[in-house]
Structure 1
Amino acid sequence: MSRTVAGHAEQGRWRTRLAAAGALVALAPVLVAPPASAAPDYSLAATNYAGTQIAAHEGVHGSPRADAPEQTLGHDVSGHQGPVDWSAAAGAGAKFVYVKATEGTGFVNPQFSQQYDGAHAAGIIRGAYHFARPDVSGGAEQAEYFIAHGGGWRADGTTLPGALDIEYNPYGVLCYGKSPADLTAWIADFTRTYLAKVKRSALIYTSTAWWKVCTGNTARFGNTDPLWLARYGPDVGELPAGWDKHSIWQFARSGTLPGDQNYYNGPIGRVQALAKG
């Protein structure tokens, strides 16, 4: 079978699997994994951020209901936004923020210090997240890289534990060329290493549709790692297996705050409790 024909066959398989998971699909043009010997591609790292692929693959289906239960407004940012005016963000209602720190084992957000430390100086509870690249190295290696470049945690009451952003691969095959069992093991390797090094469980950022397709909807992490769910619609919707509640809901790509818009599932005291450990 030619590479082109194989690529079309692969595209058809992914469309079927994502449709079954309830996602609206806009597949990336590259669907064949690069050779194992190829150097890691970080050409998109400066513009990859939490949810960068989710809206493209799953669509936007509305805004949160006005009668939603009490929630705390926050957001997430990455290097492509540049320096953030944190005083203005706090004035617009931001109570917490997650900042992209790293991607894979070859990219550090050049704006990380301004964004992470600046949020803290403005009185905003902050945390860091890592954009997962299971195609370039192991989970433990990426957890260590993340911790070494700002992804740790400190017991100061204003620092959230780190988060693992695991979503559609912006560089090629949606699940990074890995089986559900292999991806589940990769996530476990990352979260186990993070817990051992930092003494806090990492949050897991994902979407339900991606989780179903790429991990086989494993329930392995629901009792250990808080869920940060991406869904752009009027409500949170179905959760991935294993979780009976979410901690954070990323509900929109833009709004009054810089970056993406999030709600913490509860009042500000719940955010403070997560920071304190």
Structure 2
Amino acid sequence: MSIVLGARSFLATLLGTAAIAVTATPATAAPPVTDHPLGSQIRLHEPVSRAAAPPPAGLPTVAGIDVASYQGNVDWKYWWAQGKRFAYVKATEGTGYKNPYFAQQYNGSYSVGMVRGAYHFALPDRSTGVAQATYFATNGGGWSRDGKTLPGVVDLEYNPYGATCYGKTQAAMASWIREFTTTYRSRTGRDAVIYTSTSWWAQCVGNASFASTNPLWVARYSSTVGTLPYNWPYWTFWQHSSTPIDQNHFNGAVDRLRVLATG
């Protein structure tokens, strides 16, 4: 009898321990948010030409750059001397990351004479478009009518943490983007610029059109801009190179860049 009771006691203890172990296993947590520069995931997924892209033939353009924490304290006088006249600076990512070099980069570009703006790296599977637009607008993504502040940018590209389209259908992604852009406009009075690539947009957003409200910043690392995302008739910014720093063209002369800044 004692042997039987001892076996039952041992079995109960074993089952209890197993139950505790199963109960104590935590759910898989989302990876921590780190810093992803503008276009970093597009460069991983799409062809990159190392040839420098000349300004589009017959069109006046303005040269500019974009920066994130990877550039640290930027030598803005140097880039001004290289002919760069505008800059976009990363401000935020998701709702849990702020660029620690934002003040030096954002204020430094302004002080040297550039027209500058801020951008937000979107993580549509982490929180709503409302939450991320609000976080961006209150942490560097605001706008003022001073003639030197460009409207904020929502950076939409391949998911650095998982599924390309963040687990969303095209309709759900379009809805998230509208949440973001509508909220950003209500907070700042400006329509956000949308940064993306034609390939990512076709796969993850499809035929939802933002062309009537949101300026396009297209990424294509080649000598020509190529086909644009759905329904945009023209580009406003073109990120054409990442060497030796992210380089861009604005589609127009300096006076038109200032019109975009003043709204």
Bin for the TM-score computed over the shorter chain: 0.7 to 0.9
User: Which amino acid in the other structure matches residue 276 of structure 1?
Assistant: T
Instruction: Give me the whole-angstrom Cα distance separating, in 1, the residues matched to 2:232 and 2:199.
Output: 14
Please name the residue that 1:218 is paired with.
Answer: 208
Instruction: Give me the whole-angstrom Cα distance separating, in 2, the residues matched to 1:124 and 1:66.
Output: 19
Residues 77-129 of structure 1 deviation map (CA, whole Å, 9 limit, x = unaligned): 00111000111111111100000000000000000000001111111111000
Which runs of structure 2 are paired with 1:139-218 in the superposition (5 Å)?
139-218=129-208
* Distance apart, 1:241 and its partner CA: 1.1
1:121 aligns with 2:111: yes
Q: Percent identity?
A: 49
Q: Which runs of 5+ in 2 are unaligned?
A: 1-26
Of the candidates 225, 239, 243, which is equivalent to residue 228 of structure 2? 239
Larger radius of gyration: 2
Q: Kindly tell me: are residues 42 and 269 of structure 1, through their superposed partners in 2, closer, same or farther at Cα, counting changes over 3 Å?
A: farther
Which runs of structure 2 are paired with 1:50-129 in the superposition (5 Å)?
50-61=38-49, 62-65=51-54, 68=57, 69-129=59-119
Instruction: Give me the whole-angstrom Cα distance separating, in 2, the residues matched to 1:165 and 1:185.
Output: 16
Q: Match of 1:218, SS?
A: coil
Q: Match of 1:150, SS?
A: coil
Instruction: Give me the whole-angstrom Cα distance separating, in 2, the residues matched to 1:79 and 1:101.
Output: 9
Instruction: Answer yes or no: is the 8 Å Cα contact 1:130–1:165 preserved in 2.
Output: yes
Instruction: Answer yes or no: is the 8 Å Cα contact 1:102–1:149 preserved in 2.
Output: yes
Q: What TM-score, normalized by structure 1, do the two folds share?
A: 0.82
Instruction: Answer yes or no: is the 8 Å Cα contact 1:42–1:107 preserved in 2.
Output: no
Of the candidates 44, 49, 62, which is equivalent to residue 37 of structure 2? 49
Instruction: Give me the whole-angstrom Cα distance separating, in 1, the residues matched to 2:117 and 2:134.
Output: 16
Instruction: Give me the whole-angstrom Cα distance separating, in 2, the residues matched to 1:108 and 1:168.
Output: 20
Q: Match of 2:87, SS?
A: strand
1:271 aligns with 2:261: no
Instruction: Give me the whole-angstrom Cα distance separating, in 2, the residues matched to 1:242 and 1:216.
Output: 10
Instruction: Give me the whole-angstrom Cα distance separating, in 1, the residues matched to 2:176 and 2:28.
Output: 20
User: Which amino acid in the other structure matches residue 199 of structure 1?
Assistant: G
Q: Kindly tell me: are residues 117 and 238 of structure 1, through their superposed partners in 2, closer, same or farther at Cα, counting changes over 3 Å?
A: same
RMSD: 1.3
Q: Which runs of 5+ in 1 are unaligned?
A: 1-36
* Distance apart, 1:159 and its partner CA: 0.3
* Distance apart, 1:161 and its partner CA: 0.5
- Report how many residues are paired: 235
* Distance apart, 1:65 and its partner CA: 4.1
Q: What TM-score, normalized by structure 2, do the two folds share?
A: 0.86
Instruction: Give me the whole-angstrom Cα distance separating, in 2, the residues matched to 1:241 and 1:178.
Output: 18
Instruction: Give me the whole-angstrom Cα distance separating, in 2, the residues matched to 1:120 and 1:63.
Output: 26
Please name the residue that 2:14 is paired with.
Answer: none
Q: Match of 1:272, SS?
A: helix
* Distance apart, 1:51 and its partner CA: 0.4
Instruction: Give me the whole-angstrom Cα distance separating, in 1, the residues matched to 2:55 and 2:204.
Output: 33
Q: Match of 1:151, SS?
A: coil
